Amino acid sequence: MELSQDPLFSSTRWWGKETRAIVTGGNRGIGLAMVKRLAELGVTVILTARDANKGKQALEMLRNEGLANYIHFSILDVSDPHSISLFASWFNNNFGLLDILVNNAAVSYNGIYENSVKNAEIVINTNFYGPKLLIEALLPFFRCSSTYKSRILNFTSRLGLLHNVENKEVRAILEDEENLSEEKIEGVIRLFLKQVKEGKWEKEGWPKAWTDYAVSKLALNAYSKILATRLRDSNISVNCFCPGFTQTGMTGGKGSRTAEIAANIGAQLALLPPQFLQTGKFTMGQNLFLHSRF
């Protein structure tokens, strides 16, 4: 169904061409589909990619589909703080105000049934520190309209939900929402990476599937939760979305849905009418209002 025909959206199309969204990892997979869907719906989208050629190819393809007026490109490697800083300056000089940030870019180096942690550091840097540093760099630019609210949508995963953690100390730290802090989350990350280095991680109660990826998403979920609380009075919502098992490069093309189906839900979440927009929520799969505990 087109969003304009959906009763949830028909009377409340709050966005227009002046609405700006940034999508990370926009050159393929769900990110590319998100860029396309948001642009089709009339939002100005900044497609970002770590590889300039891949990004420009994606831009060209979408321009050929008639979306030229809605899509811009910039290079952005979320695992590189310098790239984040250059991007933030570029965005400030060219656009200034931001309405929607979609933290989609991520990596996993495992095949579906593998569980190596050989690349744990890169995975944590890209999937956790990347979105966190990008959010902090872009916070000054959010429009923060009290009418429409700005939105941060972090793509995470149900693999990073707390019930997958058996380690009692780690779970206690992350469950204690009142006392949770960035330092404590980073402490959990350091503990995981230390155990990986020492070869001890397997018996320490970390999530069992795609462990390094799951820990990166666990940390991003936890950070999103405290950020939502921190920004509650700033008219910026912070939510997490797990698109479910989706046919992309990350899953070797396997999955129960296409990137377009996943992105359609992602776009609806990013564009929820202000009266339905919550903050600090973890949404799974196909139902806009099916929230889970993080």
Ligand X SMILES: NC(=O)c1ccc[n+]([C@@H]2O[C@H](COP(=O)([O-])OP(=O)(O)OC[C@H]3O[C@@H](n4cnc5c(N)ncnc54)[C@H](OP(=O)(O)O)[C@@H]3O)[C@@H](O)[C@H]2O)c1
Q: Annotated active-site positions, please?
A: 213
Residue 53 or 94 with smaller CB distance to ligand X: 53
Q: With 0-12 CB in 10 A as exposed, 13-18 as middle and 19+ as buried, what is 140?
A: exposed
Tell me the three state secondary structure of residue 48.
strand
Residue 31 or 207 with smaller CB distance to ligand X: 31
- The count of other CB atoms within 10 Å of the CB of residue 11 is 7
**Alpha-carbon distance 197 to 69, whole Å?**
48
CB of 235 vs ligand X, minimal distance in Å: 25
Strand 236-242 to 246-247 pairing? unpaired
User: Which amino acid belongs to residue 108?
Assistant: S
CB of 231 vs ligand X, minimal distance in Å: 21
Residue 9 or 222 with smaller CB distance to ligand X: 222
**Alpha-carbon distance 26 to 6, whole Å?**
26
> Residue numbers of the site for ligand X (CB under 6 A)?
24-25, 27-31, 49-51, 54, 76-79, 104-107, 126, 155, 157, 242-243, 245-246, 248-251, 255
CB of 75 vs ligand X, minimal distance in Å: 9
**Alpha-carbon distance 191 to 187, whole Å?**
6
CB of 241 vs ligand X, minimal distance in Å: 8
**Alpha-carbon distance 221 to 281, whole Å?**
9
Residue 31 or 280 with smaller CB distance to ligand X: 31
CB of 56 vs ligand X, minimal distance in Å: 12
Helix or strand run (H / E) with residue 208? none
Residue 43 or 259 with smaller CB distance to ligand X: 259
Which residue, 153, 44, 38, is CA-closest to 95?
44
Residue 9 or 77 with smaller CB distance to ligand X: 77
CB of 178 vs ligand X, minimal distance in Å: 28
Strand 291-292 to 282-284 pairing? antiparallel
**Alpha-carbon distance 88 to 143, whole Å?**
15
User: Which amino acid belongs to residue 237?
Assistant: S
239, 282 contact by CB (below 8 A): yes
Q: How far, CA to CA in Å, does 16 sit from each of 23, 57, 159, 239?
A: 17, 26, 35, 22
